[in-house]
Structure 1
Amino acid sequence: MRLISLARAAFQAEKLYLRRSGRGYAIQAGYGVAAAVFGILMLVMLHIAGFAALVPSQGPVVAALILAGADLVLFAILALMARNPPRDAVAEEALQLRQAALNQMGDTATQALILAPLLRSQTLKKGAFGAAITAALVAFFNRR
Structure 2
Amino acid sequence: MRMFQLLRLAAQAEALRWKRTGRGYAIQAGLGVAAGVFGLMLLVMLHVAALIWLARGRDPAMAALIVAGIDLVLAGILGWLAARHVEDPVAVEAQRVRDDALRQVGDTTAKAAMVLPLLRSQSAKKGLVGAALTAAVIGLLARR
Same fold (TM over 0.5): yes
Which residue of structure 1 aligns with residue 43 of structure 2? Answer: 43
TM-fit CA distance, 1:92 = 2.1
> 1:111 — aligned with what?
111
Cα RMSD between the aligned structures?
2.1
Name the CA shift for 1:25/1:106 in 2 (closer, same or farther; >3 Å): same
SS in 2 for 1:6: helix
Contact 2:110–2:139 under 8 Å retained in 1: no
* 8 Å CA contact retained: 1:25, 1:85: no
Deviant stretches of 4+, over 4 Å: 139-144
| Pairing 1:60-99 to 2, within 5 Å after superposition | 60-99=60-99
Q: The residue matched to 2:71 in structure 1 has which SS? A: helix
Moved more, 85-94 or 100-109: 85-94
Q: Which amino acid aligns with 1:122?
A: Q
Rounded to whole Å, the distance in 2 between the matches of 1:123 and 1:60 is 99
Q: Please name the residue that 1:59 is paired with.
A: 59
The share of aligned pairs that are identical, in percent, is: 53
Structure 1, unmatched stretches of 5+, are none
Gap change, CA 1:143 and 1:103, over 3 Å in 2: closer
Secondary structure at the aligned position of 2:57 is classed as coil
Q: Does 1:4 align with 2:11?
A: no
TM-score by length of 2: 0.87
Structure-2 separation of matches of 1:8 and 1:141? 20
Aligned position for 1:19: 19
User: Can you list the C-alpha shifts for 1:88-109, whole angstroms capped at 9, x where unaligned?
Assistant: 3322221211111011112222
CA distance in 2, matches of 1:24, 1:143: 30
Provide the rounded CA distance (Å) in 2 between the counterparts of 1:48 and 1:79.
23
3-state DSSP of counterpart to 1:50: helix
Aligned residues: 144
The one-letter amino acid paired with 2:19 is R
Distance 1:108 1:11 in 2: 17
Cα distance in 1 for residues equivalent to 2:105 and 2:141: 16
